[in-house]
Amino acid sequence: MKNFQSISEIRDEIAVGKLTVHQLVQHYLNQIEEKNGRLNAFLSVYGDSALQRALLIDKKIRSGKARRLAGMIIGIKDVFALEGHRLQCASKILEGFESQYSGTCVQRLLDEDAIIIGHQNCDEFAMGSSNENSAFGLARNPVDETKVPGGSSGGSAVAVASDMCQVSLGSDTGGSVRQPASFCGVIGLKPTYSRISRHGLAAYASSFDTVGVISKSIEDAALVLEIMSGPDDFDSTVSNNPVPNYHKFQSTKKYKIGYLSEAISHESLAIEIKESTSKILEQLAALGHHVEETHFSKLDYILPTYYVLTAAEASSNLSRYDGVRYGRRTPSNDLEVMYKESRSDGFGDEVKRRIMTGTFVLSASYYDAYYSKAQKVRKIIKDETEKLFEEYDFLISPTTPTTAFKIGELNKDPLRMYLEDLYTVQANVTGIPAISLPIGIDKDGLPMGVQVMSKSFNELELLDVSNQIITFKDQNR
């Protein structure tokens, strides 16, 4: 069966009777069967229920009652709740835990006749940039299996890139949708903070966490975004801003686009990514967009701000995993020993590192020096970023400083690993939407990505310009 690039390709084949949803699900299950043993993208596959649901949806299609996502087969990162199914955040501490409800984003997809095919591998509690921090073992990059797929939504990017599902849901707290998408050569969209409900998404750092989409086409990302967005009784932080028809993203508008000189000239940026990003900027100018250099003097402050604040929020959020309320317990007759041992045995090293860092920056003697200061710097970064968007429609940078790195290369060196998020964290620190788009491959055949950021709630135009950039990939082969 062909490798479908978008839901409309699928719909077209269904409409002329060349394809059924049941056959489509079977196709993805075959792909999973063939590839998952090596790539480790899926932690659980819901084959029987997906096939059963496919029969039902085929029936709805025949009777003209199918809804907008009929024919879309979706995988979800192991941080999203799906009623009656396991949910472990790729952590031992949630061993045996089953969700009693579905997250709002997942439920909205199901309501539109999407099929959820399984839960996908990721870094434990979405903390990481390589998928090596999973209690279920690493996932491999399908382009080169000696390389990491990126993280934390590594399995989700691998699954789309290797045709094990059509679209994946990931979460993006500091780049976890965009960075693996870039490493695997697919699209990763992180919407504005508060655009989509976080109800049913396991919390990492609540003032940063965003539901994101990994796909092969802008069309799919737009449609899925549109369906998941908007107010929700279960999450009062969701914005009441009206949800536009994101799927109608095409326009003939010419935009004003800036690129940050500090990002393009950063010492850690690989030369081939720098050259490819410059080429994209030239191509946008050739299409009639106004492209110019601009500055962001605080680039080097964003990562430290991000890692202080997210660790603080994580230490608080993860205090609920105490051996009593969820999942795993290491038994002891002494309550305090039980808490300690359940957490010591249940959490992996990176999660423990974040909890300890977070507890430290929140402690009475260091609160002002770290946590309060980082909050102030966050505000400065936000103000300066918003100022740039008074002038520009979009800011363009590479998604990552390097292409996919070797398995084992960085996981003993947390600071170098954190540097992978250099360009992605700005969007989370400030709450703005951002997307990573595949722009071709380097001399080793590894995918490279470009990131486009926009002002809050400007996803419609972000999708429009992305749809133009994505066509450059074929021209640049």
- Cβ atoms of 322 and 332 within 8 Å: the answer is no
Residue 372 is among the residues annotated as catalytic for this protein: no
C-beta closer to ligand GLN: residue 144 or 350: 350
**Per the omega criterion (within 30 degrees of 0), is the bond before 152 cis?**
yes
Kindly state whether residue 78 participates in binding ligand GLN, applying the rule CB under 6 A: no
Closest distance to ligand GLN from the beta carbon of 89 (Å): 11
Should residue 29 be labelled a site residue for ligand GLN when binding is judged by CB under 6 A?
A: no
Indicate which residue of 152, 182, 197, 397 is catalytic: 152
Active site residue 77: yes
Pattern 193-212, ligand GLN, x by CB under 6 A: -----------x--------
DSSP string, 25-76: HHHHHHHHHHHHHHH--EEEE-HHHHHHHHHHHHHHHHTT---TTTT-EEEE
Of these, 103, 118, 128, 188, which contacts ligand GLN (CB under 6 A)? 128
Tell the smallest beta-carbon distance from residue 149 to ligand GLN (Å).
Answer: 13
Span near ligand GLN by CB under 6 A; candidates 91-99, 109-117, 166-174, 377-385: 166-174
Task: Scan residues 408-437 and list those touching ligand GLN (CB under 6 A).
Answer: 421
CB-based contact 421:410 (threshold 8 Å): no
Exposed / middle / buried, residue 43 (Cβ in 10 Å: 0-12, 13-18, 19+): buried
Say if CB 211 and CB 198 are below 8 A apart.
Answer: yes
Other CB atoms within 10 A of residue 293 CB: 10
User: Cα separation of 459 and 455, whole Å?
Assistant: 8
The residues, ordered by sequence, that sit 6+ positions from 83 with a Cβ below 8 Å of its Cβ are: 99, 100, 101, 102
Q: Does 79 participate in binding ligand GLN (rule CB under 6 A)? A: no
Among 36, 40, 121, 152, which residue interacts with ligand GLN (rule: CB under 6 A)? 152
Q: For 160, what's the count of Cα atoms within 13 Å in the CB-facing half-sphere?
A: 34
| 115-129 residues labelled b (16+ CB within 10 A) or e (exposed) | bbbbbbbbbbbbbbb
- Applying CB under 6 A, the site for ligand GLN has a residue count of 14
Closest residue to ligand GLN, judged by C-beta, is 176
Q: Which residue of 10, 70, 127, 312 would you call a contact of ligand GLN, by CB under 6 A? A: 127
Strand partners, 168: 75, 214
Q: How far is the CB of 365 from ligand GLN (least distance, A)?
A: 25
- Shortest Å, Cβ 313 to ligand GLN: 11
Q: Which of 91, 129, 141, 182 binds ligand GLN (CB under 6 A)?
A: 129
Q: Taking CB under 6 A as the rule, does residue 124 contact ligand GLN?
A: no
171 vs 317, beta carbon nearer ligand GLN: 171
Q: Which is nearer to ligand GLN, 11 or 147 (CB)?
A: 147
Q: Which residues of 234-268 are buried (b: 16+ CB within 10 A; e: fewer)?
A: ebeebbeeebbebbebeeeeebebbbbeebbebee
Query: One symbol per residue from 276 to 315: x for binding ligand GLN (CB under 6 A), - otherwise; what is it?
Result: ----------------------------------x-----
User: 10 Å Cβ neighbour count for 38?
Assistant: 12
Site of tokens 């965003």: 210
Phi, psi angle pair for 215, to nearest 5°:
-150, 175
CB of 80 to ligand GLN, least distance (A): 13
Among 142, 149, 174, 346, binds ligand GLN (CB under 6 A): 174
Indicate whether 226 belongs to the interface with ligand GLN (CB under 6 A).
Answer: no
Query: Considering only CA atoms, which of 350, 407, 411 is closest in space to residue 135?
Result: 350
Q: Is 278 a catalytic residue?
A: no
Torsion from C-alpha of 88, 437, 303, 379, nearest 10 degrees: -100
Site stretch for ligand GLN (CB under 6 A), options 81-89, 108-116, 174-182, 315-323: 174-182
Active-site annotation, residues: 77, 152, 176
List interacting residues with ligand GLN (CB under 6 A).
126-129, 152, 171-176, 204, 310, 421
